[in-house]
Structure 1
Amino acid sequence: ALMRRVLAIAALNLRELTRDRTEFVSVIVLPLLLTWVFGTAFGSSGVERPLEIPVADKDGSAYSQALVARIADAPAFDVKPMTDAEARALVREGDAPVAVIVPAGFGAALEQSATPSVEVVSDPSSQRAQAALEVVRGAATRTSADVVAARAAARVLYAAPPAFAEGFSAADGIAEPVTVKAVTVRLSGSRASELEAPANTQYSLGFTVFFVFMVALGSAGGVLEERELGTLRRLLAAPARKAEILGGKVTGIAFVAAFEAAMLVGFGALFFGVPWGKDPAAVALLLLALVLAATGLGVMLSALVRTRSQLSAIGPVLSTALAMLGGCYWPIEITS
C-alpha cells in the first residue's frame, strides 16, 4: 500500500508534465534537437582520418601498379588514383600535402636496365608532407630491391625481358625479411592532444549529462509551483503521510531524469554510434548514479529557494556552469 501510494503520486507528476507543452518541448524536443544539431554539425572532427595521397599512374604497367600498391599498404594513407593534372592541382591548392606521379614508360625502363624516376610533388608548408614522402621512398626502396633481384635473375638466365618480369614478380611476392609490428597502447593518463573522442560522441555524452540535470531541476520546480497554486496544501490533506508524498515527488523527479537519460543514450547510440561499452549493467549503474545525483540536486534546490521563478533563474545558470567545469561541452582535459 505504501509503495502504491508513492507510485501514484509519482504518476501524477508525470501526467502533469505531459499536459504542459512547454515542459514537453524542454524534456524531449529540445535535448534531441540540440544533440542532433551539434553532433551533425561537428561530425567526427575529433578523429584523425587517413591522409589522402593523389597518385597519377601514367604508365599502367605491372611494375607501376606494384609501386602504387606499396604506397597504399601504409595504414595512415589513402591512395586516390587520378590524372597528372588533377594530382598537381590538389597540391597547388593546398588540398593534398604530396602527389605521386609515375611517368609513362616506367615499366619499360626497368626492363631495359634504365633508372626511371618517380616524381613527388609536395607542399613545403604541410607538416604531413614529410611523412608522406617517407612512405613513398619506402615503397620505391622495396620496388628497387625487387628490380635488383629481377635483373640478377635475368643475367643468370641470359634471358630476355620475360625473365625479368618473372623475376620481378617472384621477388615482389617474397615476404620482407624485416617487418615492423605496430602495437597500440592505451594511455593511462592522456592529454587532449593525444586522445580525443569524436565530436559527435563528445556532444552526445555531454548533452546527456547536461539535460538530465536540467530536466531534474525543472521537474523539482513542480513542487514549488504546487505550493504557489495551493495544490500542495490539498495534497497534504489527503490520506497519505508526508513521507509518502515526499517519496512520490522524489520518485517522479527520478523517473523523469531516468527517461531523459535513456532517451538521449538511445538517440546517441542509434544516430551517432556512441560506444557505450559492452556491459549494459555497468552502463545502467552509471546512469543510475547520474539520475540520483540530478534528483538530489533538484530536491535540494527546491528546498532552498522559495518560488518556481527563482529556481528557473538559478537552475540553468548552475547547470551550465557545472556542465562547463565537468567537461560536458568540451573534453575536460583541455582545461588542465
Structure 2
Amino acid sequence: MLRALFVVSRLELRARFMDGTALLTALLAPIVLASLFGFALGGDDPPLRATVGFVDLDGGEFPASVRKEVLSAKELDGMLTLRDFTTEKDAQQTLDDEGIGAAIVFPAGFSQDVGAGRGGKVTVLTSPETPLAGVVASSIVDRISALVDARTLAVKASLDAGVSADKVKEFVERNGASGPALTLESDPMAGGKVDLSVYYGSGMAALFAFFVVGTSVRSLLTERNLGTLNRMRAAPIRPWIPIVGKGVVGFLLALVSVCAVWASSVLLFGSTWGDPLAVFALWTAHVLAAAAITMLVASRAKTDSQADGLIMGVSFVFAFLGGSLVPMYNLPDFLQKVALFTPNGWTSTGLTELAGGGGGLATVAGPIAALCGMALAAGGVAAFGFRRGLLG
C-alpha cells in the first residue's frame, strides 16, 4: 500500500515538474509577487497616532512629573497626544465613544502614598478597538510601577534603618531615589509593529497555497476524463490511493512554497516573522486546511475547468476576507469577524501575533487548533464527495 502511494506521488510530482506548474505556481509566482509588494509597500506599519486620556485625581508631584516626561519623550514624539479629564467616568465615556484610544488614571492621594512608602496603583483604561494605544499607555504605566516600587522600597528601608518619618522623604531624595522621573528607555511600540512585507509576503504565500494544492487535485478530474484514473483503479491498489497520493504531493509542494516565500522575505527585506518553530507549525496547519478545502471544492466539480473556476474563486474570496490581499485591520469590523471563518484569517491573526507581539508556539495554539479543525471538517466532507464521485 505504501509502495503504491509512493509510486502515485512520484508520478504526480514528476508530471508537475515536467509541465512547469510546480516551479511556476509553487515558487516563481508567489516569490515574485511577494517581493514586488514588499518593495512597493514594505516598511513598518503606518506610525501610530494615539490620543491617551490623562486623569489626575491626585494633583501631586508624581502625576505632574510623569506628564512632563511623557510629553518630552523622543520615542513618543509625533505619536502620542495627551488629553486631560477631570474624572475617570468622563475618560471611560470618551473611550467608549472612540474619542481616545486609552487612558491613564492617577487616584487621589497617589503621590502622598508613594512618598510614605505605601506604594500606589495607576489604572489603565483600554479598548479592544484601539489595542496599540493601549500598548503605549500600558508601557508608560509599567515604567511608573517600577519607579513606585523602587521608591516604596527605599522608604521602607529608611524607616527600618531608624530614619524618622518626618525626615524620610529628605533622606530618600538625598540618597538617589528622589523623584518620579520617567525615562522611556525603548520604543514602547517595539513588538507592536508589523512590517508590511510580512503582511503581503504571508498573504501571497497563503493565497498560492490553494493554487498549488489545487493543481494536483485538479489533475484527478483530468485523469478521470482521460480514462487514466480508471486504469489506476483497475490495478491491485486501494481506491483512495490516487487521491491521497496527489493530495500528499500538493500538500508538500504548498508547504515548500510558503517556506520559500518566508525565506525570501527574510533575505530580501530582513523581515521578522516570529519564532521559526511557531511560524512553521502555523504554516503547516494552514496548508493542511487549504489542502482539505481545495479537495472539498474539487470533489463537487464535474470537470477540470469547473474545478479551476471554483478553486480560484474560493482562493481569492478567502484571500480578501482573511487579510491576504488587504490587512485585516483595514477591513470593516463585521468583515474582521467573517475573516475568522477562513483559514487565511486565522493564519494572518497568528502571524500578526508572532511578528508583532513575539511569543512562541503557545501564542498561536488557538489559530493552529482552528486551522486543524477546518482541515478535519473539510477533509471529511471531501472524502465523502470523492467516494460518491470519483470513486463511485
**Is 1:3 aligned to 2:2, yes or no?**
yes
Counterparts of 1:4 and 1:216, CA distance in 2: 22
Contact 1:214–1:316, Cα closer than 8 Å, also in 2: yes
AA aligned to 2:237 is A
Q: Per the alignment, in what secondary structure is the counterpart of residue 333 of structure 1?
A: helix
User: Which whole-Å deviations, capped at 9, do the CAs of 1:24-44 have from their partners, x for residues lacking one?
Assistant: 323322111111111101121
Match of 2:250 among 250, 253, 256: 253
**Is 1:74 aligned to 2:42, yes or no?**
no
**2:303 corresponding residue in structure 1:** 307
**Is 1:232 aligned to 2:229, yes or no?**
yes
Contact 2:220–2:243, Cα closer than 8 Å, also in 1: no
Contact 1:224–1:307, Cα closer than 8 Å, also in 2: yes
**C-alpha displacement at 1:330, in angstroms?**
2.1
Counterparts of 1:283 and 1:43, CA distance in 2: 20
**Is 1:285 aligned to 2:281, yes or no?**
yes
C-alpha RMSD of the superposition = 3.0
AA aligned to 1:274 is S
**Higher RCO (Cα < 8 Å, 6 or more apart):** 1
AA aligned to 1:198 is D
**C-alpha displacement at 1:5, in angstroms?**
2.1
**1:92 corresponding residue in structure 2:** none
Counterparts of 2:226 and 2:232, CA distance in 1: 12
Q: Per the alignment, in what secondary structure is the counterpart of residue 262 of structure 2?
A: helix
- Relative to 1, partners in 2 of residues 1:312 and 1:246: Cα closer, same or farther, differing over 3 Å? closer
Contact 2:206–2:286, Cα closer than 8 Å, also in 1: yes
**Is 1:294 aligned to 2:290, yes or no?**
yes
Counterparts of 1:311 and 1:246, CA distance in 2: 15
Q: Per the alignment, in what secondary structure is the counterpart of residue 250 of structure 2?
A: helix
Counterparts of 2:284 and 2:75, CA distance in 1: 40
**C-alpha displacement at 1:334, in angstroms?**
2.1
- Relative to 1, partners in 2 of residues 1:203 and 1:75: Cα closer, same or farther, differing over 3 Å? same
Instruction: Give the TM-score normalised by structure 2.
Output: 0.48
AA aligned to 1:204 is G
Counterparts of 2:199 and 2:279, CA distance in 1: 16
**2:182 corresponding residue in structure 1:** 180
Q: Per the alignment, in what secondary structure is the counterpart of residue 242 of structure 1?
A: coil
Q: Which runs of 5+ in 1 are unaligned?
A: 50-71, 79-175, 188-193
> Which protein is bigger by CA-based radius of gyration?
1
AA aligned to 2:323 is G
Q: Across the two proteins, how many residue pairs are aligned to each other?
A: 210
Counterparts of 2:73 and 2:326, CA distance in 1: 35
The 5 Å alignment of 1:144-293 reads 179-182=181-184, 197-278=194-275, 280-293=276-289
Q: Per the alignment, in what secondary structure is the counterpart of residue 240 of structure 2?
A: helix
- Percent identity (aligned): 27
Contact 1:217–1:297, Cα closer than 8 Å, also in 2: no
